[in-house]
A and B are shown apart, each in its own frame.
Chain A
Amino acid sequence: MKLQLHGIEKSFGALKVCRDISLGVNKGEMVCLIGASGSGKSTLLRCINLLEPIDDGKILLDGVEISDPDLDPQPIRQRIGLVFQSYNLFPHMTVLDNVMLAPRLIHKTSQAELRDQAEALFVRFGLTDRIGHFPDQLSGGQQQRVAIIRALAMKPEIMLFDEVTSALDPELVGEVLDVVRQLKSEGMTMVLATHEMGFAREAADKVCFLEKGMILEEGPPEKIFAAPREARTQEFLRRVL
């Protein structure tokens, strides 16, 4: 298995945000986390990326524990891409510099080679003409695609997406989801927190329904969406579909 979570616990003060979360993600698989606002989806993704330290449990990447507090999280984060709802591009740099910053500082490859690799990514995701622009000169959809490219430039083994379409106008959602579809077809392992039920149903290999920090129900999308077992899942889906 590519990614395994075992009994993850996480609290902010007295607030328990993840309760005994266990989950396995196979290589090339796409898992969607769904659930109401505040159910802990973002927090779980941030924990996997080691942006938040977990209180208890284990995270394994390729069978090796990465959540050991004695490990340096920095090289591990380089292997796990994370894309945020609010893009979080660096506004003082061009889009190309946004993408090249981390590889330039971390990978010891030549500047020219890095540039070629970055440009290849822009070509692959149809943004070649925006390379020299600054983030605020781009539409939300374009910014989010750049954010995805920026994460991909570190050649991550797994990608985490935190509601990457929630801040977008409806007509821009499609172009970003297309990128996610493309990545899936190329075999990327992915975990998405999403409110796009249609997309989860169509593209996910597995759907997890979170409620108050617990995975209440998980299974293939056909099953979760067509015949949810839990009453809470049924209620949630009735509300959002």
Chain B
Amino acid sequence: MQTSAAKNSAGAAIGAAPPGKSRRQERERRLRRRSVIVATISTFVVLLLLVVLIPMAPGWEKVQKAFFNGPILIKVFPELLQAFLVDLMIFAWSAPIIALWGLAIALCRDARGPALFPLRLFAILYNDVFRGVPVILVVYLVGFGIPGLGLPRPWNSPYLWGTVALVLSYSAYVAEVYRAGIESIHESQRSAAKSLGLSHAHTMRYVILPQAIRRVIPANMNNFISLQKDVALLSFIGPVEILRQAGVQKSLLANFTPYLAASIIFLAVTIPATRFADHLIARQNKERS
């Protein structure tokens, strides 16, 4: 976003540089300025209508008190932020495990030779199962089911089994993205490596994977942005993270504003991350064309 803005202004600066400014550039600059003005005005009008019209609805006052309560928002914000650290922590240790386990699954799927067929079968079943079952169900089944076996202390932690549930689900998605990346590398790269006498494993490790992984970074970033949100699902099995904390506050204060506060905190992380992923995708598309 920022860099492209910077690039645009740099481009404009070059365009504005007299005396080389062509009539086409001048025209384009005028058009650009006009469209910025139009967009600003129309946005402003829409916002104005929202601000004026919504409060005219009969139930607005009640909704405002229950959901958009300023004092409550300020009051619960620090505690929710604290609880969000738990989300970040769970994310921080889950993400690398998912990245590696997903890669392992993708490689199993690509295993060659009849002796390795069980690996391939495992990877196919794994992907079918965990992409087919909603994450929340996996969280419930693993998070309640396994500690329910009566395991001793560190082994019944909801953090542990919650993480396992997230890893199981998300590795399937990530593996699928890796596989698409591996398949997108042109066959001629494999031929070249083979013709030099490289083994299948060496070809994968040094020729295919470095290119494939790089190519799917943006796609995988979208997976990890979803993961960041789905960490909140662990609230259902115990950890006092942001969603659970917001629920507690909601009950205490008999007000829904804590949920709004939690949403704001999530957005503060996911919007920049999504923009960044989009930016990477746009840059990759430009490079490839």
Contacts and interface: CB of A to CB of B under 8 A. Distances in A.
Partners in one complex: yes
B40 interface: no
Interface in B190-247: 191-199, 202, 206-207, 210-211, 214
Contact of B196 (A46, A86, A92, A151): A151
- Is chain B's binding surface mostly helix, strand, loop or mixed? helix
A106 to B, nearest CB: 6
Contact of B192 (A75, A88, A92, A105): A88
A28 to B, nearest CB: 22
Nearest to A88: B192
A82 to B, nearest CB: 4
Contacts, number: 56
A105 B198 contact: yes
Contacts of A90: 189, 192-193, 206-207, 211
Nearest to B207: A90
- Is chain A's binding surface mostly helix, strand, loop or mixed? mixed
A80 B194 CA distance: 11
Nearest to B201: A105
Q: Considering residues B192, B197, B207, B210, which has the most beta carbons from chain A within 10 angstroms of its beta carbon?
A: B197
A12 to B, nearest CB: 14
5 contacts: A90-B192, A91-B211, A92-B214, A105-B202, A154-B196
Given A74-B198, A101-B198, 15 more contacts: A49-B195, A51-B195, A74-B197, A77-B196, A77-B197, A80-B195, A82-B195, A88-B189, A88-B192, A90-B189, A92-B210, A101-B196, A101-B206, A102-B196, A106-B197
Interface of A: 46, 49, 51, 74-75, 77-78, 80-82, 84, 86, 88-92, 101-102, 105-106, 150-151, 154
